[in-house]
């Protein structure tokens, strides 16, 4: 039999022979294992983020950290979109406008952080980078 013949074969999933009781026991065992691993090593034992040393977990700080992560993800999307040869730059203007709003939001978050916060320079730098990328597209640097 050739590969082409295998590709054309219909795929029908087999019925699951697992009973509802077995599923419930599996869920219980999984929860117990997760609890044990978390108690042993914290969230980083499960591949989660390691705790940040020296960063206060106050409300503005948590919001600033989350916003920086969101904006950096959006900047990555912007970079990938710029590298696509068939994508029109006109399609990127809504993203550039979102980056401009993000920059303004980051600036306000940076102002709400204490002046001695180790996170404040990072937030300010991310705001400046975001504003710069938005202005570059609006100005026509990527044409």
User: Does 4 reside within a domain?
Assistant: no
The number of domains in the chain is: 2
41 and 63 in a single domain? The answer is no
Q: What is the DSSP string of 29-95?
A: HHHHHHHHHHHHH-GGGGT-PPPPTT----HHHHHHHHHHHHHHHHHHHHHHHHH-TT--GGGGHHH
User: Does 122 reside within a domain?
Assistant: yes
Q: Which domain holds residue 26?
A: 18-46
* Ranges in the chain, pLDDT < 50: 41-58
Ramachandran category for residue 42: left, alpha or beta (phi over 0 → left; psi -120 to 50 → alpha):
left
User: Does 9 reside within a domain?
Assistant: no
63 and 94 in a single domain? The answer is yes
pTM, 2 dp: 0.54
User: Does 114 reside within a domain?
Assistant: yes
pLDDT of residue 57: 44
pLDDT of residue 4: 65
31 and 100 in a single domain? The answer is no
pLDDT of residue 25: 74
pLDDT of residue 58: 45
pLDDT of residue 139: 83
128 and 67 in a single domain? The answer is yes
86 and 40 in a single domain? The answer is no
């Amino acid at each position: 039999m050739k590969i082409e013949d295998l590709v054309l074969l219909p795929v029908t999933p087999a019925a699951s022979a697992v009973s509802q009781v077995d599923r419930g026991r599996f869920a219980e065992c999984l929860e117990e294992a997760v609890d044990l691993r978390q108690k042993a090593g914290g969230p980083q034992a499960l591949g989660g983020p390691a705790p940040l040393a020296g960063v206060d977990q106050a409300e503005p700080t948590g919001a600033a950290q989350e916003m920086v992560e969101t904006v950096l993800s959006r900047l990555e999307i912007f970079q990938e979109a710029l590298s696509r040869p068939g994508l029109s730059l006109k399609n990127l203007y809504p993203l550039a406008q979102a980056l401009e709003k993000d920059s303004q939001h980051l600036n306000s978050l940076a102002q709400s952080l204490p002046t001695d916060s180790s996170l404040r320079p990072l937030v300010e730098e991310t705001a400046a980078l975001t504003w710069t990328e938005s202005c570059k597209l609006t100005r026509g640097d990527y044409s």
